[in-house]
Amino acid sequence: MERVSQSKPAGTLIHAPEITPDELQLAVRNHSMPLEALRYPITPLGLHYLLIHFDIPLVDAATYWLAVAGHVDKPLRLTLEDLKSRPATTLAVTLECAGNGRARLSPRPLSQPWLGEAVGTAEWTGTRLAPVLQEAGLKKGALEVVFTGLDRGVQGGIEQFYERSLSVADATHDDVLLVYAINGQALPPQHGFPVRLIVPGWYGMTHVKWLRSITVTDRPFDGYQQAAAYHYRTVEGDRGVPVTRMLPRALMVPPGEPDFMSRTRFVEPSTQIVEGRAWSGLAPIERVDFSSDGGRSWSAAGLEEALSPQSWRRWSARWDATRPGEYELCVRATDASGNVQPLEQSWNLEGVQNNAVQRVRVVVGAPDGRQIAADLR
Ligand SMILES: Nc1nc2c(c(=O)[nH]1)N[C@H]1C(S)=C(S)[C@@H](COP(=O)(O)O)O[C@H]1N2
Ligand SMILES: [Mo]
């Protein structure tokens, strides 16, 4: 049973502002990265965001093997030990879900309701994919490489393994890894144990977890997660544009202390150093601008070197928060190709690629506000 019932288009809209129980269920299964974790260049393991479409599969490493097959001369079966005995590479890579920012859209596409924190940077260790494919030997006419996970479920009315493809050119890029460790530890179940794909610069859906097979094809792959989902489209029935690399985004660690419910921040009148991280999968981050007046005026933030070309850069800005009042802090990234974050939400049917600037409400020196916050506790 590969295809069941009719295929529904990805991203069914809901108009009610209230979050639905289905969305809430997704939100509690899949967590984002608390913004204060932007302080770490490498996100501590449990703080990295998570996105799992179906169930986390249970895998026995002792009997596990990865199949490399399809349009190749010599199909391979690679055990975890085989993969670990190949030359190892460790890369710091920033991952972000393509749906990050979805829940800011109105009407809201019904899916994982990310606000803006579906990101993390980890040190991934594994072996390069290109030599594995070379060993298998791509036959003439090889067009795409399909990566299939062990996890199975139904989406859009179609029963499927989670699977995505890359062109041969993208799959054989030097940076693409088959990884078995994160931050120096074996992959935990939720991040793809025992082996996952890492494709630096691309949105999260590309980094297939729990790999069961790698299949070289001589025709375009038309699986659900490739052909139906992950397209930027604003009109139902439109083919749309496939989602590929991460658009630029900067995030800040909200300064001061938060109100429990609203997350409004409270800051003593003082000069603040506001900090965060910025990334883009299209080109290196070149510039980050900071605003304390809701985006009316901007000034350039300071930028630090990234740990690796595949990971985010730290930025910081001085904010003169000496005058009591209410402020809206914003931050905006620009990459070397001139891609810049929009000020407005980028509405589309699936709620992908919404990289509108972050806005953080801060109250400077307001005892009233603080009293209200205290009363709420
Ligand atoms: N097999 C499989 N791989 C998957 C997914 C999945 O559901 N199944 N989710 C994808 C999506 S949409 C994202 S954003 C990333 C999240 O990776 P993480 O949970 O390790 O942060 O994994 C991707 N790889
Ligand atoms: Mo995602």
Side-chain half-sphere CA neighbours of 214 within 13 A: 33
Residue 291 alpha carbon to ligand 1 centre in Å = 33
Residue 24 has pLDDT above 90, yes or no: yes
156 alpha carbon – ligand 1 mean position (Å): 17
> Is residue 207, in this structure, part of any structural domain at all?
no
Residue 313 covered by a domain: yes
In a domain, 233, yes or no: no
pLDDT tens digits, residue range 133-152?
999 999 999 999 999 999 99
Q: How confident is the model at residue 3 (pLDDT cuts 50, 70, 90)?
A: very low
Say how far apart CA 57 and CA 60 lie, in whole Å. Answer: 10
Which residues, listed in sequence order, are joined to residue 319 by a DSSP beta bridge? 272
Tell me the whole-structure pTM to 2 decimals.
0.94
In a domain, 335, yes or no: yes
Q: Which of 183, 193, 205, 231 to mutate to test the pocket of ligand 1 (most atoms within 8 A of CB)?
A: 205
Tokens of 296: 């009316």
Q: Does any domain span residue 235?
A: no
Q: Does 271 reside within a domain?
A: yes
Residue 349 in any domain: the answer is: yes
Find out whether the beta carbon of 33 lies less than 6 Å from any atom of ligand 1: no
Provide the domain count of the chain. Answer: 1
Q: State the burial class of residue 298 (Cβ atoms within 10 Å of its Cβ: 0-12, 13-18, 19+).
A: middle
162 C-beta closer than 6 A to ligand 1: yes
Over the stretch 340-369, which tens digit does the pLDDT of each residue have? Answer: 999 999 999 999 999 999 999 999 995 555
Give me the CATH number covering residue 334. Answer: 2.60.40.650
Class of residue 168 by CB neighbours under 10 A (exposed 0-12, middle 13-18, buried 19+): middle
* Helix, strand or coil, per DSSP, at residue 362: strand
What is the average pLDDT score of the chain? 94
pLDDT above 90 (res 18): no
CB of residue 95 inside a 6 A radius of ligand 1? yes
- For 357, the domain range is 249-376
Domain membership of residue 108 (yes or no) is no
Ligand 1 pocket test target in 29, 50, 51 with most atoms within 8 Å of CB: 51
Q: Using a 6 Å cutoff on CB, does residue 208 contact ligand 1?
A: yes
**Nearest ligand, measured from the Cα of 30:** 1
The answer on pLDDT for 303 being more than 90 is yes
